[in-house]
Structure 1
Amino acid sequence: MLRKMPDNRFIREFEEKMSQSTVEHLGTSIAEYDHSQPESSEPLRILWSARWEHDKNPEDFFAAIDMLNKTDTPFELAVIGQSFRDVPEIFAAAKEKYSDRIKFWGHISDPSEYAKVLSWADVFVSTAMHEFFGLGCVESALAGGYPILPQRLAYPELFRADIGENKRDFFYDGSPKMLAKRLEKLAKAKKNGCIWNGSPQRVKDMLKRFLWENRAPKLDDKIECL
């Protein structure tokens, strides 16, 4: 964009500053909350947590839930997030349709209540088309939720899709059909006793780099170098 400016482009100065700059990740302390261990006979607990806007693609999420519902798979829902003036109509329709399955709904401002929802969930689902970082999915995974994420945006970096087993286990192709299949498979795995296939600590270990106890010293070092 600077090169298109007629004058005062400061390209050299800009490139110099860029060479001195880094992009640093956020931090979280959500790992202090314990994940509850529901009985295998209970329905699959599905969490969708995002702003209630079109760029988070709620239409695909509820399309997948509709497909899952047709398989007679037992499940419960937590659909949480902040809403603004222009709320997609799909939320009102879904609330009415799945009122008997919804356990948490809407914006949760209290941190302790938010932690309860994360601890409740078996699975965290994203359908986002826009995401700066993905703090909600990191927090959910650190709290014990199994991530099911589209292979796009920041998610492949956060959840190391370059590692074969991570790509296989935690990602889907972004379509409602594949998301529904993944959720149905996880519900069956829960019924058999273990969603995580024997390795529930794997994601937590991978995401420890985002805990404030690890992020803060690195950010302090960066600031000291300014």
Structure 2
Amino acid sequence: MKILLLSAYDALSHQYWRKGLVGAFPEYDWTVLTLPPRYFSWRLRGNSLTWAYSKREVLSAGYDLLICTSMTDLSALKGMVPALAAVPVLCYFHENQFAYPASEQQNASVEPLMLNLYTALAADKVLFNSVYNRQTFFAGVRRLLKKLPDYVPGNILDLLQEKSAVLPVPLPNDVYLGKVHDTSDVLQIVFNHRWEYDKAPERMLQALKILKSRKVPFRVHVVGQGFRQIPPAFSEMRSVLSEQIGCWGFIESVDEYRSLLQKSDAVLSTAIHDFQGIAVLEAVAAGCVPVVPERLAYPELFAKRFRYPSFEKDAEKEAETLAGRLEKMAKAKAGGELLVAPDIKALGWRALRPFYQQWIRDTAKV
């Protein structure tokens, strides 16, 4: 089977998925086109223009299936490249723009919302990486359609629901590592998310400051990827928690990073935006106990004992709740109790490959 794979905004999480997908199906003939994850607004609306007139020969090479991410301007691309018009399309939603919290620097725009909607409508099949992602997409589409003034077809939601399903981004087989139990009495916490506002680092900072004030021994490893605009909570954290900080900054070495996960006790999330939470899942696969909020995709991933109550509108109350959860874990470890992570082998490529294969075959009609 000849497959064209398009990743229009090839962020790390998108690379993670597409490389895993290509690697899982070496029997297929893959052609992959990507665009770098920068200039978000232009990339979202301009990828069709870029590809249609700079990669026309590649796009017109004749394919049995087109797989694209939701960032792809699919309807425009199919219109500008006639050879793609009849190719069946499987679209994968890593996220949806209806549920993405806007930062102070971003202006609210309907453009990303319409692009998500048009791309989903132009695809034959649509997959979401979590139930949360799918539900918020449909809720957002419903709100958007109600705001439009006239001539809105009444069957849009039904059409989309009929051709969509949930299929997570699988974890690579090599992330399932044997736990290395830390011999100290100190709780080892890892925060391995992007250093951006939507991961709500100020909530983590507040919770850890409470732990420190209670004289709870802990060590925190803050090892996510940083960008040009880093939330001020990180610099404050490094200052006020200097004695408690272990590893700091992005770890280039995969082996070193995974070794840290193996040795840590807990992986922490305070996110107000996460459609699947790959960073948390990788840490759990390595043996970390998840400490995650009761929101986003986490309720569908982890049992209640791994989730702390969500107070999204009251960050201070949530920090108190989180600090209490971490304090209990610290006391349990100090008392010699083993902190056991949940089994998430069902989210690996070994388990999910047959489901991907079925969706590929069904969409391509082979």
- Could you say which residue in structure 2 is the equivalent of 1:217? 354
The runs of 4+ residues in structure 1 deviating greater than 6 Å are: none
Whole-angstrom distance in 1 between the partners of 2:198 and 2:211: 23
- Could you say which residue in structure 2 is the equivalent of 1:163? none
Q: Which residue type is aligned with residue 83 of structure 1?
A: G
Question: Gapped runs of 5+ residues in structure 2?
Answer: 1-143, 311-317
Q: Which residue type is aligned with residue 193 of structure 1?
A: G
Q: Does the aligned pair in 2 maintain the 1:68–1:184 contact within 8 Å?
A: yes
Whole-angstrom distance in 2 between the partners of 1:112 and 1:217: 28
- Could you state the TM-score of these two structures normalised by the residue count of structure 2? 0.54
- Could you say which residue in structure 1 is the equivalent of 2:161? 18
TM alignment of 1:105-184, pairs within 5 A: 105-159=248-302, 166-167=303-304, 169-174=305-310, 175-184=318-327
Whole-angstrom distance in 1 between the partners of 2:308 and 2:278: 19
Whole-angstrom distance in 2 between the partners of 1:53 and 1:177: 22
> 1:193 pairs with 326, 331, 336, which one?
336
SS of match in other structure, 1:148: strand
1:83 aligns with 2:226: yes
CA spacing shift, 1:38–1:78, aligned 2, 3 Å: same
Q: Which residue type is aligned with residue 222 of structure 1?
A: W
Question: Gapped runs of 5+ residues in structure 1?
Answer: 160-165
Whole-angstrom distance in 1 between the partners of 2:323 and 2:157: 46
Identity %: 33
CA spacing shift, 1:210–1:5, aligned 2, 3 Å: farther
Whole-angstrom distance in 1 between the partners of 2:197 and 2:178: 32
- Could you say which residue in structure 1 is the equivalent of 2:178? 34
Deviation at residue 141 of structure 1 after TM alignment: 1.1
Whole-angstrom distance in 2 between the partners of 1:127 and 1:66: 14
TM alignment of 1:33-72, pairs within 5 A: 33-39=177-183, 41-72=184-215
Q: Deviations over 1:122-144 (max 9, x none)?
A: 01111101111111111111111
Whole-angstrom distance in 2 between the partners of 1:13 and 1:156: 28
Whole-angstrom distance in 2 between the partners of 1:23 and 1:214: 15
| Number of aligned residue pairs | 211
Q: Which residue type is aligned with residue 157 of structure 1?
A: E
Q: Deviations over 1:36-65 (max 9, x none)?
A: 1112x4311011121111111111101010
- Could you say which residue in structure 1 is the equivalent of 2:3? none
- Could you state the TM-score of these two structures normalised by the residue count of structure 1? 0.85
Whole-angstrom distance in 1 between the partners of 2:150 and 2:274: 33
Whole-angstrom distance in 1 between the partners of 2:282 and 2:319: 23
Deviation at residue 80 of structure 1 after TM alignment: 1.5
TM alignment of 1:92-103, pairs within 5 A: 92-103=235-246
Q: Does the aligned pair in 1 maintain the 2:209–2:241 contact within 8 Å?
A: no
Q: Deviations over 1:101-126 (max 9, x none)?
A: 22211122332222122112101111
Deviation at residue 15 of structure 1 after TM alignment: 3.5
Q: Does the aligned pair in 1 maintain the 2:177–2:287 contact within 8 Å?
A: no
Q: Which residue type is aligned with residue 308 of structure 2?
A: Y
